Structure 1
């Protein structure tokens, strides 16, 4: 059995000013000696972190949740059936939709709302400027699925994170943020004709800007500047607990919350395996002995991207996904499961963490790490 094509028929239908939760995709499948079938799905099982780092990113095993099967005009409804289809895409996958419990190719996330990373919008801009690159063209190819969807499709995209990241490896002023937001929206509109841009009120823009830059940002920046030199070079197994305790004390000193991403990533670097196939935490932190605020801003921008997704899913639209070309960030997202809580004063989360985050930690080490983070 082989998968021939995928078409996003309906991602969300807008009626009467509201967006319904109707989402589906159709898969055309050919079976030797048995003809062509059309399979309707309401979603795909997320792919894992290990599937991100394989060399061939054109071949994947997709697992849709099948709603119905149609052949020669005869349709049969199916309940809770998951099928596996091997797929070879025309383009290598270099852009990833962060969904609950993993990731998917963007058009297969079947979401109503997509939050775009700056590197995605930059790819659109480069292609529009006539700059040729396989990477840029590949990103655009993956998003071309949205423009080929039916007229009743409603897909919303937001460039708010791209604007929050800024251009100069530092916090943008609010005016710079607002200008970047407008410019990014123009780039998306030029690239994708059927996509609706998120309409942000002035109060929302000011609120989201203050939320991320008047809160944890400075505490986490101070933590990074203090801790990163300790983990720039590999630490012997004999000294790891000692360095871990120093990291925890710094987290306590700077008022970090339990399971802060910067804390998890720092400890991940400390317990990374020397034979690791993909040192994702090191790629996100980019540690050096002369770590600067500009370096820290790059890391904190990645963390803001994750937190913006969690915030958006909780308050705006639970089907929201974030889209990025950052392989290390997608890998990290796929190894943790955020558990969000909110009260009238704060938004917070805990993390369910897989063993692969602290790759070289033994069972006792892992338990100790979880205990000391929980006690913050």
Structure 2
């Protein structure tokens, strides 16, 4: 068994030896691990990490050490930390730098103003790890999303960022909370403005595509619906392999029995009276995904993890194993992997064929 003593880990080996090691990097967990812990809170999760400064029964070992161990989490891992290729419980993110979305900041505010509810125990337990001040927090996703289910104005964006920052300062008084000077705020909002046109295209695509997948599509009709979705992506100028399209295809290729909604269906939440506000919520979530993934491509020593309490978003990210990279010509690329967890109706060979069609 293992006991987390952040930032060090103490392990007791089968032969009775005690190992104390400082982790350098944890291998991310996947969506299967997320489902496992949701189905059985007592289930053990296999953690792998690289450590340094290991001591075996007090004797120091030089060099680095690769460790694999099973941990039984005391609490459900909410909020989730989305890192390149998967997710981790908050204290396992190294370096400890987080982008916080609106549901996390709003929960911190609610707890401060009204006290914790019964369902807040796990949230408080995990966030209390940062009371010592080791982490860096950035409320940029909170400000980007806004409070009115539409793109915020510049004034609304700046006000939301200040609100989010004030809330984080109160929640984590010893931590580092990112502050924007005027030039930084201008640059951050300019990035949001640059996405307005694409966001409008994505919204029109969603509003046209969602009626096609409100009800589960039969196997006999799925090819026809797939082609119609591709037509809509071309009509609205949306890249066929964009995240917004993948979410719709995940809903289309739902479990054939319909017993468990697919990851894309849980994210998009299709319904008969789907509105532009509903579409905005999905687009905003996917904007956070891109922001977090590509932060690793522009920050020298690793990305900011996206901290969210949204289970559907955590599953979407983890099933796709989202990650970003910067090419030699300074272009930023978003990468993902498609598997049967994301499109449960299809075999992997069929998913590979679809991926080739979407390129």
TM more than 0.5: yes
Residue from 189, 198, 209 that aligns with 1:216? 198
Q: Distance between the aligned counterparts of 1:69 and 1:303, measured in 2?
A: 40
CA, structure 1 residues 345+41, in 2 after alignment: closer, same or farther (shift >3 Å)? closer
How many residues in Structure 1 have an aligned counterpart in Structure 2?
A: 351
| Per-residue deviation, 1:194 | 2.0
Deviations 1:236-282 (A, max 9, x none): 11111111111111111111124211100001100011355453211
Q: Distance between the aligned counterparts of 2:323 and 2:233, measured in 1?
A: 19
Say which is worse superposed, 316-325 or 180-189, in terms of deviation.
316-325
Q: Matches of residues 219-230 of structure 1 in structure 2 within 5 Å?
A: 219-230=201-212
1:282 — aligned with what? 265
Q: Distance between the aligned counterparts of 1:342 and 1:211, measured in 2?
A: 20
Q: Distance between the aligned counterparts of 1:239 and 1:31, measured in 2?
A: 55
Residue 256 of structure 1 aligns to a residue in which SS?
coil
Q: Matches of residues 1-376 of structure 1 in structure 2 within 5 Å?
A: 2-8=1-7, 26-31=8-13, 34=16, 36-54=18-36, 55-57=39-41, 59-71=44-56, 73-89=58-74, 91-148=75-132, 153=134, 155-212=135-192, 213-273=195-255, 274-275=257-258, 277=260, 279-316=262-299, 318-336=302-320, 337-338=322-323, 340=325, 347-362=332-347, 365-374=350-359
| Per-residue deviation, 1:34 | 3.4
Deviations 1:154-208 (A, max 9, x none): x211001011111122222221111111111111111112211113233333333
Query: Which is richer in strand?
Result: 1
Deviations 1:19-76 (A, max 9, x none): xxxxxxx112345783643122212221110111232346533223232322454211
CA, structure 1 residues 350+73, in 2 after alignment: closer, same or farther (shift >3 Å)? closer
Residue 329 of structure 1 aligns to a residue in which SS?
helix
Contact residue 326 and residue 332 of structure 2 kept, 8 A: yes
| Per-residue deviation, 1:371 | 2.4
Residue 83 of structure 1 aligns to a residue in which SS?
strand
| Per-residue deviation, 1:83 | 2.0
Say which is worse superposed, 264-273 or 332-341, in terms of deviation.
332-341
| Per-residue deviation, 1:234 | 0.8
Deviations 1:77-97 (A, max 9, x none): 3545222133332x3222111
Q: Distance between the aligned counterparts of 1:75 and 1:358, measured in 2?
A: 47
Aligned alpha-carbon RMSD (Å): 2.4
Query: Mind listing any 5+ residue stretches in structure 1 that lack a counterpart?
Result: 9-25
CA, structure 1 residues 200+60, in 2 after alignment: closer, same or farther (shift >3 Å)? same
CA, structure 1 residues 288+346, in 2 after alignment: closer, same or farther (shift >3 Å)? farther
CA, structure 1 residues 340+354, in 2 after alignment: closer, same or farther (shift >3 Å)? farther
Deviations 1:266-317 (A, max 9, x none): 0110001135545321111011121100100111111011011123222245
**TM-score between the two structures when normalised by the length of structure 1:** 0.85
CA, structure 1 residues 345+75, in 2 after alignment: closer, same or farther (shift >3 Å)? closer
Q: Distance between the aligned counterparts of 1:342 and 1:34, measured in 2?
A: 47
Residue 307 of structure 2 aligns to a residue in which SS?
strand
Residue 307 of structure 1 aligns to a residue in which SS?
helix
Contact residue 259 and residue 350 of structure 1 kept, 8 A: no
CA, structure 1 residues 129+238, in 2 after alignment: closer, same or farther (shift >3 Å)? same
